Structure formats: structure tokens, C-alpha cells
């Protein structure tokens, strides 16, 4: 029995997230159905984590077990011939039997993209958060430093989260601008439910002057979700990379 890791890329606009669900199409279901057809087996994919409806992935890692003899250097081409245009397999690799895309992950990197101008851009529809109010990127950059390190991120987690510990480590957080598009780039050990989107929403509040950059340490320490910014919409969020040893 082989254990194969796939690196995939997807535009999440048409999907209800990664996780298979009843009565709605997910990225996992689309990939599993395609692999079923290719291998003649019932496939179960193990993903590196969940993404919400509308969220995208530049590089997403998953793995599955199979008796198929298709070589890994051929598998992406076979998959991409049958996958829809909004999902692409970038790489396939034989892994040790114990490898698991989620449990072996050592860190993740996300980016969040904001279109910051008054008029919309039709070519970025469902790809960015369109924020019309001018954003002060220097204030947003100033606020980033307080997030870096190990903290209890209860203030930046959905109230629906049921995890026991909300302590996570952020290795880096930056904000850059290229023309009308602002990009937030965050690398951490792992993230709570909606954590990246709440950080993005909070940085936007800093950029419009609704939250002071110097207030971020107090907001983190308060463990009070109501003190942070809004949850940014899903279409601006991209999983950029998953890190393994």
C-alpha cells in the first residue's frame, strides 16, 4: 500500500471549503471523486487543515493511500486532465507509511489580499476583499510586531471554536502594498478558527484609525473577541504553504 502526498492549488470560489460535506461540493470531494475514477478505488484524502467556503490555496498538502501503480511523476498530469479548471495538482510524492498531511505539519503560511481603492476590479472578483476606505499601511505595519511570538489568541478566534488551548505562535507577520492591492503575510505554528481573517480585519481597523496600533498588546491580553476587529471576508484568504520537517 502506497502513501502518496499531493500538493494542490485551488480557487475556492465555487466550493464550500476543503472538507467533504453533505449536499454541497467541496474541494476534498472533487479530488476524491476524481481519484476514485483514476485508481478504481474508494479514496480517502487527509488534508493539512480545513479552509472555509470561498477560501483559496496556492499550495495545499493532502495524502491518500492506494494500491495504484501510477508513477508519481505522471499522476499530476493524469489528475489535471480530469479535474476542473479551478483545481490543479502541482506535485505528487511517495511518502513513508506514517506520513499524515495534518499531523506532520510544523507550520503554515497564509496571505490575505485587499483591494484598496474606491472602484471594484472585475478581474479580482472573488479574489480579494474590496475595501474602499483609504488604509494607512504604515500604521498596519506598526501593529504587526505585537502579534509575533507565542500568545493566547482567544481575542482572535471565532467564539464557535471548541479547541482546548488557544495558544499559538506567530513567527512573522507583515503588510505590503503593490499598487492598489495590500497583502498581509502571516507564518505561524498553526491557526485557530478564523484567526487569520480576524487578524486581517483588525489590521484594517488599524489602517482606518478605528483601532490604535499600540492597543494590540492589550487586545491580545484581554482574551476578549469583541475588542478585536471584524472577521474579514473569506475571498481574500489564501493558504500559501504548509511546512514539514
Residues labelled as active-site residues: 52
What residues are paired with 185 via a beta bridge? 111, 174
The residue written with cell numbers 500538493 in the block is 7
Which residue is it, cell 491557526? 191
**H helix runs in the chain, sequence order:** 27-39, 75-82, 137-144, 195-207, 216-222
99, with CB counted inside 10 A (0-12, 13-18, 19+), is middle
The string over 122-137, giving b where at least 16 C-beta atoms fall within 10 Å of a residue's C-beta and e elsewhere, is eebeebbbbbeeebeb
Q: How many residues are given for the chain? A: 245
Cβ neighbours of residue 11 under 8 Å, at least 6 residues apart? 56, 86, 87, 126, 127
Q: Is residue 157 within 8 Å of 192, Cβ to Cβ?
A: yes
Cβ atoms of residues 112 and 187 within 8 Å:
no
Residue carrying C-alpha cell 489528475: 79
Q: Are the C-beta atoms of 181 and 128 separated by less than 8 Å?
A: yes
Q: Is 75 helix (H, G, I), strand (E, B) or coil?
A: helix
Amino acid at each position: 500500500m502506497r502513501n502518496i502526498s499531493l500538493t494542490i492549488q485551488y480557487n475556492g470560489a465555487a466550493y464550500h471549503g476543503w472538507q467533504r460535506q453533505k449536499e454541497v461540493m467541496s474541494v476534498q470531494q472533487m479530488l476524491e471523486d476524481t481519484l476514485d475514477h483514476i485508481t478504481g478505488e474508494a479514496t480517502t484524502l487527509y488534508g493539512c487543515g480545513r479552509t472555509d467556503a470561498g477560501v483559496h490555496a496556492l499550495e495545499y498538502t493532502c495524502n491518500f493511500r492506494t494500491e495504484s501503480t501510477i508513477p508519481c511523476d505522471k499522476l499530476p498530469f493524469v489528475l489535471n486532465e480530469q479535474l476542473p479548471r479551478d483545481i490543479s495538482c502541482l506535485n505528487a510524492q511517495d511518502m513513508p507509511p506514517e506520513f499524515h498531511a495534518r499531523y506532520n505539519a510544523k507550520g503554515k503560511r497564509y496571505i490575505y489580499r485587499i483591494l484598496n481603492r474606491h472602484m471594484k476590479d472585475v478581474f479580482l472578483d472573488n479574489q480579494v476583499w474590496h475595501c474602499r476606505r483609504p488604509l494607512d499601511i504604515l500604521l498596519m505595519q506598526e501593529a504587526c510586531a505585537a502579534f509575533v511570538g507565542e500568545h493566547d489568541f482567544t481575542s482572535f478566534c471565532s467564539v464557535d471554536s471548541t479547541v482546548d488551548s488557544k495558544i499559538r505562535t506567530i513567527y512573522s507577520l507583515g503588510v505590503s502594498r503593490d499598487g492598489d492591492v495590500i497583502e498581509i503575510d502571516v507564518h505561524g505554528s498553526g491557526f485557530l478558527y478564523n484567526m487569520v481573517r480576524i487578524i486581517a480585519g483588525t489590521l484594517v481597523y488599524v489602517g482606518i484609525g478605528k483601532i490604535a496600533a499600540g492597543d494590540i498588546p492589550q487586545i491580545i491580553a484581554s482574551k476578549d473577541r469583541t475588542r478585536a476587529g471584524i472577521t474579514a471576508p473569506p475571498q481574500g484568504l489564501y493558504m500559501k504553504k504548509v511546512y514539514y520537517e
